Amino acid sequence: MTETSHERWSEDVAAYMLGALEPEQAAELERHAEGCERCREEIRWLTPALDALPESVERIEPPRELRSRVMAEVRADAGPADAPAAAGLFGRASSWLRELGSGPMGLRPVAGVAVAVLVVAAVAGFAIGGGIGSDEGGATSTVVAGKAPGITAKMVSEGDSGTLHLDNVEQLPSDRVLQAWVQRDGEVEPVEALFVPDRQGQASTELPDMEDVEVVMVTKEPSGGSATPTGEPLISIAVQ
Amino acid sequence: MTVRKEKAERLADEELMPLIGEKDPEAFEVFYDRHGGVAYSLAYRIVGEKAAAEDVTQEAFISIWKSGARFDRARGSVRSWMLSIVRNRAIDALRSRAGKAPKLTFDDDAILEQRPSEALTEEEAMRNETASELRGALGELPGEQSKVIELAYFGGFSQSEISRMLGVPLGTVKGRMRLGLEKIRGELAEGLA
């Protein structure tokens, strides 16, 4: 490494560390520094000064709700505490669903229970009746807004999979998550991924296998999720 | 793998990261409790709004949760790595808000006034003291040096943008950045005496 080359880049070391170089310049400097011990030494020397900048900021206490939201999302992502088990458990879920008066085409709100019933309607070649996603063109579903408690939902399909977007979902305590369920041929199955609403009350989850699905539901569950639904659904969507 | 929270609390950050990489929520909770305060404070310092600072902090921590296994201890401390993630996300948020000018001074009186009086742990209080000393060192920088450092680090501006904003040659901006960081480094080497 020539002295001239080092001096050329040495001028930019401070700007590089402060994030003030354009991305291409930063990449060039990094390539140069790989072969320039003097530049690396300068970076090492100045690193404590850079580290001091964020540490110098006046501390303010983050809201407790922020911690709750972060940990709820973390626990949801950590996976079910009680892993999905026997089909019998799903059979119990199916019974639970029947108690709510649901069926492939007959889902309806339970009297006195704030259940939003949504109907996914056909749009632009989106095939319904054979199950969401039977259209390989990756069509988009549409949504009818739910009833109480004011949650609205949107389902987007891509091939055999889909995404469920919820809005106006109330904040959850840190030990609760949202879990989606699908019903196929009368049997209720959990969707693996758990999710939580963000600060704006929006929540989304992937529905990786929507073939032959008749009903989609979302419930509140303990952190880590459940093998069978433990509460009444926030929403139920009958897929016609 | 999951460790009890009491055990996780005794581990150094560098020892927590492998556990976080294995999706241990207890280890991550300890990590958040250690660093959530400074992360939120930094995010707020950059974006200037509590709601946006919350979003930035949440996104940064979830990003760390999902990429914890990628931490490279050869590139510095966990805390510095975490703060660089928060800073980058805060700058991104700042840039996405059209017309929002960054704050340009080290005067944090407004933030001080909004700080709740309770709930500071002893460790946080000590860090506050250190932060106060660091602010003192930064405050002793010549104004032209502190301004370019402020614009770059907390404002997310490139050296070329700063040159145009201040109407000074690019070389001058480079020089001020370098002199400013070297002065801070010198203060640190002397123990912030």
CATH tag for B1-98 (out of 3.40.390.10, 1.10.1740.10, 2.60.40.420, 3.40.50.620)? 1.10.1740.10
- Please tell me the distance in Å from A45's CA to the nearest CA on chain B: 8
Do A42 and A119 fall within a single domain? no
Same domain, A181 and A70: yes
| Angle at which helices B13-21 and B78-96 cross, to 10° | 70
| A10 and A99 assigned to the same domain | no
Could you read off the pLDDT of A181-218 as tens digits, one per residue? 888 877 788 887 788 887 778 888 888 888 888 788 88
Answer whether B112 sits within 8 Å of A46, measured CB to CB. no
Return the number of CB contacts < 8 Å for A and B: 173
Task: Specify if A60 maps to a domain.
Answer: no
Domain count, chain A: 2
Nearest beta carbon to residue A69 from set B58, B86, B87: B58
Judged by CB atoms closer than 8 Å, whether chains meet at B171 and A11 is answered as: yes
Q: Which of residues 37-96 of A touch B (CB under 8 A)?
A: 45-63, 66-67, 69-71, 73-75, 77-79
Chain B residue closest in CA terms to A47: B185
A235 and A128 fall within a common domain: yes
DSSP B26-51: HHHHHHHHHHHHHHHHHHHHHH--HH
The average pLDDT across A142-168 equals 67
Q: CA B112, CA A59: separation in Å to the nearest integer?
A: 8
| CB atoms B41 and A67 under 8 Å | no
* Mutation target vs A (from B151, B181, B184; most A CBs, 10 A cutoff): B181
Chain A residues in contact with B119 by the CB 8 A cut-off are 61
Contact A47 B88 (CB under 8 A): no
A139 and A45 fall within a common domain: no
**In this complex, do A66 and B54 lie within 8 Å of one another by their Cβ atoms?**
yes
Instruction: Say if the Cβ atoms of B58 and A18 lie within 8 Å.
Output: no
pLDDT class for A112, splitting at 50, 70, 90? very low
**pLDDT reading at A140 higher than 70:** no
Q: In the CATH scheme, what is the code of domain B120-193?
A: 1.10.10.10
At A164 the pLDDT is 82
3-state secondary structure of A181: strand
- Give how far B41 is from chain A: nearest CA, Å: 5
The predicted structure's pLDDT at residue B129: 64
Pairing of the two strands A176-184 and A187-195? antiparallel
Q: What is the structure's pLDDT at A50? A: 93
Can you give the residue ranges of every domain in chain B? Answer: 1-98, 120-193
Grouping H, G, I as helix, E, B as strand and the rest as coil, residue A110 is coil
pLDDT value for B177 = 96
**How far A55 CA sits from the closest chain B CA (Å)?**
6
Residues A215 and A106 in one domain: yes
Q: Tens digits of per-residue pLDDT, A33-43?
A: 988 999 999 99
Question: Which residues from A are below 8 Å from B137, CB to CB?
Answer: 52, 56
- Paired with A203 in beta bridges are A166
pLDDT band of residue A21 (cuts 50, 70, 90) is very high
Q: A87 and A16 share a domain?
A: no
Cα–Cα distance measured from residue A99 to residue A87, given in angstroms and rounded to the nearest whole number? 18
A216 in the same domain as A127: yes
Specify the 3-state DSSP secondary structure of A31.
helix
pLDDT of residue A126: 30
Of A120-134, A196-210, B23-37, least confident by mean pLDDT is A120-134
User: What is the per-residue pLDDT for B56?
Assistant: 96
Residues spanned by the domain of A218: 65-239
d(CA A88, CA A20): 60
A111 touches chain B (CB under 8 A): no
Residue B10 has pLDDT above 90, yes or no: no
- Do residues A21 and A117 both lie within one domain? no
C-beta atoms of A14 and B180 within 8 A: yes
Q: pLDDT band for position A100 (50/70/90)? A: very low
Segment B117-158, tens digit of pLDDT: 334 455 555 566 677 777 877 888 999 999 999 999 999 999
pLDDT at A220: 85
Q: In this structure, is residue A141 part of a structural domain?
A: yes
The answer to whether B88 contacts A19, with C-beta atoms less than 8 Å apart, is yes
* Contact between chains at A54 and B42 (C-beta distance less than 8 A): yes
* A24 and A129 both lie in a single domain: no
Say whether both A145 and A29 belong to one domain.
no
Q: What was the ipTM of the complex prediction?
A: 0.80
pLDDT at residue A177, rounded to an integer: 83
pLDDT digits (tens, 9 = 90+) for A40-59: 999 999 999 999 999 999 89
Any B CB within 8 A of A26 CB: no
CATH code of the domain in which A26 resides: 1.10.10
Q: Are residues A131 and A77 in the same domain?
A: yes
Q: Nearest CA to A219 among A178, A171, A184? A: A178
Contact between A59 and B41 using a beta-carbon 8 Å cutoff: yes
Q: In the predicted model, is pLDDT for residue B11 greater than 80?
A: yes
First to last CA, chain A: 70
Residue-level pLDDT at A87: 31
